[in-house]
């Protein structure tokens, strides 16, 4: 009788142990899936946010290089299908200036192959080359590829860094309402360094940048996260994705490492969680 009871207890104990292990495994899988969602949501949000910064950067720098003469704006923008650009003070002397870039409501496809709608409004405090000069970006009914971008971006000129490259501090407060109506909220402080003008100092579309810094936010599922750029992100004004660099995304105590690759211009990246690496496709 005692032997039978002991055997029964062992069977029950083994069942409880198996059940506990099974539940733990299932929870880990769910957590990995949540972490993957968080990392990919942030990658998309960062790409969309930088689309705005790149557009403003190209338009404003091109205008500045031409004395803020609207008739000499970025190639294509004076076409009937391009954005309409207006400046409240179209000269090289008077500041602050307010520049409005209006892409209309039907959609304008730029050379990054992004479809843009709405308005980017940029307020410039002073001549762009002056250390401390700021560009403040506000958005009005603005969309990138159907994703509604809201919030404020402030870009402060730091002057030339130790590598003799132009450096800017970019402070961003984003609310992104995606095509599926889910929302991503993010706040970031990053340093944006122009590391190459591609030999074309007056053409800003092909400029290359290195980006460092951190982000905190809430993903589309309501999960809070933080992000640290662990290896500088590399991007071009005329390409929609980061092409190199790594970021570490943390939710609670778990981390995911997103690697954008070796500099190849593509939509590919790898995501590593708990030592397991998988290939992903970037989106914006």
Contact in structure between 261 and 233 (CB atoms under 8 Å): no
Which residue did the predictor score with more confidence, 6 or 275? 275
> Which pLDDT value is given to residue 284?
87
Least confident of 38-52, 57-71, 219-233: 57-71
Spatial separation of the C-alpha atoms in residues 170 and 155, rounded to whole Å: 5
Residue keyed to tokens 């929302």: 183
* DSSP 3-state of 196: strand
pLDDT higher than threshold 90 for residue 56: yes
* DSSP 3-state of 284: coil
Q: Which two tokens stand for residue 239?
A: 């390409």
Nearest CA to 121 out of 48, 207, 44, 55 is that of: 55
> Which pLDDT value is given to residue 9?
43
Spatial separation of the C-alpha atoms in residues 211 and 49, rounded to whole Å: 13
pLDDT in tens, 90-123: 999 999 999 999 999 998 999 899 999 999 999 9
Nearest CA to 236 out of 258, 216, 263, 215 is that of: 263
Spatial separation of the C-alpha atoms in residues 192 and 189, rounded to whole Å: 10
> Which pLDDT value is given to residue 73?
57
CB within 8 Å of 176: residues ≥ 6 apart: 45, 48, 49, 147, 148, 149, 150, 183, 184, 185, 186
∠187-192-193 over CA atoms, to 5°? 170
> Which pLDDT value is given to residue 57?
94
First to last CA, the chain: 68
pLDDT in tens, 240-265: 999 999 999 999 889 999 999 999 99
> Which pLDDT value is given to residue 71?
74
pLDDT higher than threshold 50 for residue 30: no
Cβ atoms within 10 Å of 113's Cβ, excluding its own? 10
Query: How much of the chain exceeds pLDDT 90, in percent?
Result: 80
Q: Which long-range contacts (CB under 8 A, 24 or more apart) does 62-67 make?
A: 62/202, 62/204, 63/87, 63/99, 64/127, 64/128, 65/202, 67/91, 67/92
pLDDT in tens, 179-227: 999 999 999 999 999 999 999 998 999 999 999 999 999 999 999 999 9
pLDDT in tens, 259-278: 999 999 999 999 999 999 99
The answer to whether the peptide bond before residue 106 is cis (omega within 30 degrees of 0) is no
């Amino acid at each position: 009788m005692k032997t039978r009871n002991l055997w029964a207890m062992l069977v029950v104990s083994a069942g409880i142990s198996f059940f506990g292990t099974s539940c733990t495994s299932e929870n880990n899988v769910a957590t990995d899936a949540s972490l993957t969602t968080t990392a990919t949501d942030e990658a998309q949000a960062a790409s969309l946010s930088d689309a705005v910064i790149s557009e403003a950067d190209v338009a404003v720098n091109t205008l500045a290089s031409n004395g803020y003469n609207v008739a000499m704006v970025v190639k294509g923008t004076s076409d009937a299908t391009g954005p309409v650009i207006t400046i409240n003070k179209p000269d090289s002397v008077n500041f602050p200036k307010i520049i409005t870039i209006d892409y209309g409501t039907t959609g304008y496809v730029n050379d990054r192959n992004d479809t843009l709608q709405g308005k980017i409004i940029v307020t410039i405090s002073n001549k762009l080359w002056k250390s401390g000069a700021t560009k403040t970006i506000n958005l009005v009914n603005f969309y990138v590829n159907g994703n509604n971008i809201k919030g404020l971006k402030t870009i402060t000129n730091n002057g030339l860094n130790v590598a003799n490259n132009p450096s800017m501090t970019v402070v961003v407060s984003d609310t992104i309402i995606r095509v599926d109506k889910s929302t991503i909220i993010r706040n970031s402080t990053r340093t944006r360094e122009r590391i190459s003008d591609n030999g074309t100092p007056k053409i800003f579309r092909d400029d290359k940048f290195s980006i460092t810094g951190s982000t905190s936010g809430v993903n589309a599922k309501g999960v809070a996260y933080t992000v640290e750029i662990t290896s500088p992100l590399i991007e071009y004004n005329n390409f929609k994705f980061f092409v190199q660099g790594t970021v570490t995304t943390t939710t609670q105590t778990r981390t995911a490492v997103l690697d954008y690759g070796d500099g190849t211009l593509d939509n590919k990246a790898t995501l590593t969680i708990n030592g397991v690496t998988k290939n992903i496709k970037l989106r914006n």
